[in-house]
């Protein structure tokens, strides 16, 4: 067992005490995020008809993944992670309560919507990183793959399935309702996670009070270096970034593709998205079983091998049902890969530097997302709405070929079978040993 993972608390327990509360809290915060994201977007459309101003709210909600996320990752290496979990939910509840007050006072404009979206996503970047960082302490006798599957499944159900329709319906009844309900969701999550702390969990880095802006920047850069110099995690990160780029290239023009190529309306388009999301949920459920049978390396190879064909089918068909059934496999592939790659980071990154390395990993993935959307839009404008699907298929074919060479079980197992480093390298030393494979 890797040194960063605690010993099982009891042979009779499937998960450590408090794991159920952690899953429930993550599920409730997912519902809050799903409701508030769609409600902020719809509210912006009621404030103005200017597409540029409306898009500012969406952009403001995405920017923190690039501007705040990496530094938030470093910060969680210097705080009491269990205390920070409930503080993040309490902070989101407070921000939404203030915004609800603005709604009641009829003082909401694009600026207020954009600032609220930016603040909430900024806290979300830290909360998501924290959730991944503490899961290894809650595994008990079960596998990390199973634990990650449970946590990610709960969040997907509420954030993707329940949140958007509930948020839209509540907004139609009264503009303040979705924000009030989201406030309650985060408050409930705060209560659920409050006091959950496994026996022996560290209370935080003793140097937390001395974390200067200069040190924050240095350790954030160190997380990037650690990730880049770790052969397996670097490979996984780059291939997953390529997968993310390909998916976003398609999602950016998906609504136009559905309406003009498949010939469906907005309602049917929403149903198609739910079908694809159902594929994602199925992927989360079966991920532990796939890993148990095939191993992590071969499972990742399977993910990349199955990804190009659905995009080719979607590019060639004009039938909405055929396109949806094909793209279900993309949802399955993305979810399986998310479970496996999350587990790999939890096992291979030293616990005390998990935040900064995880922040660097997410920076690469989220940094390429806007580029994928822009590329898909440009390709569709130049070559038609089917072209981004063919581009995605070509990129993922390259990723599949690379995975066959770089991500076999034989290539992955030497890393996962040995303990992670027990201490983080000195960020001030450019010659320090920062990877497990040096």
Rounded Cα distance between 372 and 383, Å, is 16
CATH class label, 1-195 = mainly alpha
Per residue of the chain (438 residues), what is the pLDDT tens digit?
444 444 444 444 577 888 889 999 999 999 999 999 888 988 888 888 776 687 788 778 888 888 888 888 888 888 888 999 999 999 999 999 999 999 999 899 989 999 999 999 999 999 999 998 888 888 866 788 888 888 888 888 888 888 888 888 898 899 999 999 999 999 999 999 997 877 666 555 544 456 678 888 888 888 889 999 999 999 999 999 999 899 888 887 787 888 888 888 767 777 777 888 888 889 989 999 999 999 999 999 999 999 999 999 999 999 988 999 999 999 999 999 999 999 999 989 988 889 899 889 988 888 777 788 778 888 888 888 899 999 999 999 999 999 998 988 887 876 665 544 444 444 333 333 333 333
What are the sequence ranges of the domains in the chain? 1-195, 224-438
User: Do the two domains 1-195 and 224-438 of this chain adopt the same fold?
Assistant: yes
Closest CA to 336 of 379, 382, 301: 301
Q: What is the pTM of this model?
A: 0.80
224-438 is a CATH 3.40.50.280 domain: no
């Amino acid at each position: 067992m890797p040194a960063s993972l605690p010993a099982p608390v009891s042979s009779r327990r499937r998960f450590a005490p408090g794991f159920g509360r952690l899953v429930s809290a993550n599920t409730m915060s997912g519902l809050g995020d799903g409701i508030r994201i769609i409600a902020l977007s719809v509210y912006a459309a009621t404030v103005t008809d200017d597409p540029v101003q409306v898009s500012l709210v969406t952009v403001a909600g995405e920017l923190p993944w690039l501007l705040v996320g990496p530094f938030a990752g470093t910060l969680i290496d210097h705080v009491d992670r269990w205390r920070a979990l409930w503080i993040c939910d309490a902070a989101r509840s407070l921000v939404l309560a203030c915004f609800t007050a603005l709604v009641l006072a009829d003082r909401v404009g694009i600026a207020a919507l954009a600032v609220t979206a930016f603040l909430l996503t900024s806290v979300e970047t830290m909360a998501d990183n924290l959730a991944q960082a503490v899961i290894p302490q809650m595994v008990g006798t079960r596998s990390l793959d199973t634990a990650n599957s449970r946590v990610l499944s709960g969040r997907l159900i509420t954030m993707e399935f329940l949140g958007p329709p509930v948020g839209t319906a509540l907004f139609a009844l009264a503009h303040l309702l979705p924000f009030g309900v989201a406030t309650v969701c985060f408050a409930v999550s705060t209560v659920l996670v409050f006091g959950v702390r496994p026996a022996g969990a560290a209370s935080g880095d003793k140097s937390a009070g001395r974390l200067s802006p200069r040190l924050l920047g240095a350790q954030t850069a160190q997380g990037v270096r650690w990730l880049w110099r770790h052969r397996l995690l670097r490979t996984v990160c780059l291939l997953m970034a390529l997968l993310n780029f390909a998916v976003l290239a398609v999602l950016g023009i998906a609504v136009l593709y559905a309406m003009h190529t498949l010939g469906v309306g907005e309602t049917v388009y929403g149903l198609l998205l739910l079908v694809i999301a159902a594929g994602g949920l199925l992927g989360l459920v079966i991920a532990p079983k796939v890993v148990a049978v095939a191993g992590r390396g071969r499972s990742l190879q399977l993910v990349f091998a199955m990804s190009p064909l659905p995009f080719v089918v979607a590019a060639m068909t004009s039938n909405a049902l055929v396109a949806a059934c094909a793209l279900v496999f993309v949802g399955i592939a993305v979810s399986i890969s998310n479970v496996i790659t999350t587990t790999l980071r939890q096992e291979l990154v030293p616990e005390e530097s998990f935040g900064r390395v995880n922040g660097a990993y997410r920076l690469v993935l989220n940094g390429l997302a806007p580029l994928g959307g822009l590329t898909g839009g440009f390709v569709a404008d130049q070559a038609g709405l089917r072209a981004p699907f063919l581009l995605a298929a070509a990129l993922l074919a390259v990723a599949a070929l690379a995975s066959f060479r770089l991500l076999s079980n034989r290539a992955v197992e030497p890393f996962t079978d040995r303990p992670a480093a027990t201490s983080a390298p000195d960020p001030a030393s450019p010659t320090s040993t920062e990877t497990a494979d040096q």
